[in-house]
Structures are given as structure tokens and as C-alpha cells.
Amino acid sequence: MAKRIAIVEDDPDQRGNYVDAVTKKGYEVTAYSSRQEALAGFEHELPELAILDIILGDEVDAGFEICRDLLSRSPSLPVIFLTERITEIDKISGLRLGAWDYLPKPISLDYLAERISSLLRINEARGQSAQNGSSSAKTVGDMSIDQEALLVSWKGHTINLSGTEFRMLAKLVRVPGHAVSYDTLMNATMQSLVTNNTINTHMRNIRKKFESIDDEFDCIKSEYGFGYRWSSK
């Protein structure tokens, strides 16, 4: 059965191009032109992945609001922001909300289709891992990390990380106790124009997610001017 993809884009030409490209890959696509239209559609059926522009008509943060609504209904739903708003604060805001990816316009339609396929595969692997248990998980102290399913747990509790946060954590715990440079962590984000401040913000968010499970969590250490280190207890 074809996976259901939702596209929320107010520009009719761009919306049509995205729909054509994604449909050609075998997905079932529903497109919306406004926040109100999208939310009404989601009342009837949720997609299995959503692609959201942020500015919709006169609403400058409409995509962020849609993302909040979607993830309140389905916390594990993959969300991609596809937008002309590419400032650092916008990227951080989108990823903090729980988006799996943040892509700038203009974009190659082939690349967009590949990102969709990749995220759906990851989400499917997560579901299978949660049901069957994972043989590919690595244990680092009290943490279990599965690089195939992008799953992390701490003391048996799942930590819901975005794709970017997961890749950064995976770099950090590859060799516990060794400092990982800002440059290495920037490469892990798979994004351009990443600054040290962006990395610091991601690390604060990762820490907070672990601390929400364990208020004594203290494994992520800052190496001033260089990067970060994972210190297993």
C-alpha cells in the first residue's frame, strides 16, 4: 500500500511540482494550500510524512503551527520543513519542534524524493525495532543507540531525537571519552552554514531530552573552544 504524503505549500506552481515529483515515486500525495485547509484534512486522516512550508499566505509561522498540531497527534510522524526561511534561528526553531529535516528552497525534486524515501525507511525501521527488539543497537553505559533505526534509549526509556540530533549524538558516542570537534559535529548535521552556536543549541536540546528522563544526567561535556565529549559514568 502506498505511503501517504502531505504537502502544505501556498505557491501553486511549486505545489504542483512537488506533487508530480513525489507521486512519480509511487506515493499517495495530498496537497494543501493553507494552514486551515491542512488542519481540516488532518482531522480526517493523518499522513505518514508531512512536507511543510513555513510562510503560508499572510501567516508567517503557519508551518510551525501545523507541525505542533501534527506532532501532538502523532509524536513520531516525520516532518520536513521546505522553506525559503533559512536563518539559523528558523532552523533551530523548526528542529526544536521535532522536525526530522529542514530543507531550503529551491530544491532538486529528485533530492526531495530521496529524502522522503530515506525518512520513511528510518521510521519503518524504528517501528520494527520497537516491536521486535533490535540486534543492531550499541550499548554505551546506560544508553542504547541503534544507528539503523535512529533510536536512542536511556535507562530503558526512549529519547525522541530529531535526525540531526541523532547524527550528532552518534558522532559523540563513537569513541566515548574522546573530544569531538565542532567541525565534525557540523558535518554530522548534513546542513550548510552551521555555526558553533547552532551546535551548542542542538547539544542543549539533547541534554534537556536526557534530563527529562534522568535529572542527574551529566554525560555530555563541553570542551571549551573545541567541541564536546561523551563521558560515560
Q: Which domains does the chain have, with CATH numbers?
A: 4-123 (3.40.50.2300), 134-230 (1.10.10.10)
Q: Which residues contact 228 (CB under 8 A, 6 or more apart)?
A: 172, 179, 180, 185, 199, 203, 220, 221, 222
Find residue 167's DSSP bridge partners.
none
Residues 121, 128: contact at Cβ < 8 Å? no
- Confidence (pLDDT) at 131: 61
Per-residue pLDDT of the chain (233 residues; tens, 9 = 90+): 889 999 999 999 999 999 999 999 999 999 999 999 999 999 999 999 999 999 999 999 999 999 999 999 998 899 999 999 988 788 878 877 888 888 889 999 999 999 899 889 888 877 776 566 555 678 999 999 988 777 899 998 888 787 788 889 999 999 899 999 999 999 888 776 788 998 998 899 899 889 988 999 999 999 999 999 999 76
Q: Please, which residues have CB within 8 angstroms of residue 129's CB and are 6 or more apart in sequence?
A: 137, 146, 148, 149, 151
Q: Which residues partner with 8 through β-bridges?
A: 32, 52
Q: Please state, in angstroms and rounded to a whole number, the distance separating the CA atoms of residues 61 and 84.
A: 12
Output the nine-digit C-alpha cell for 151. 533510536
Report if pTM > 0.75: no
Grid cell for residue 25: 515515486
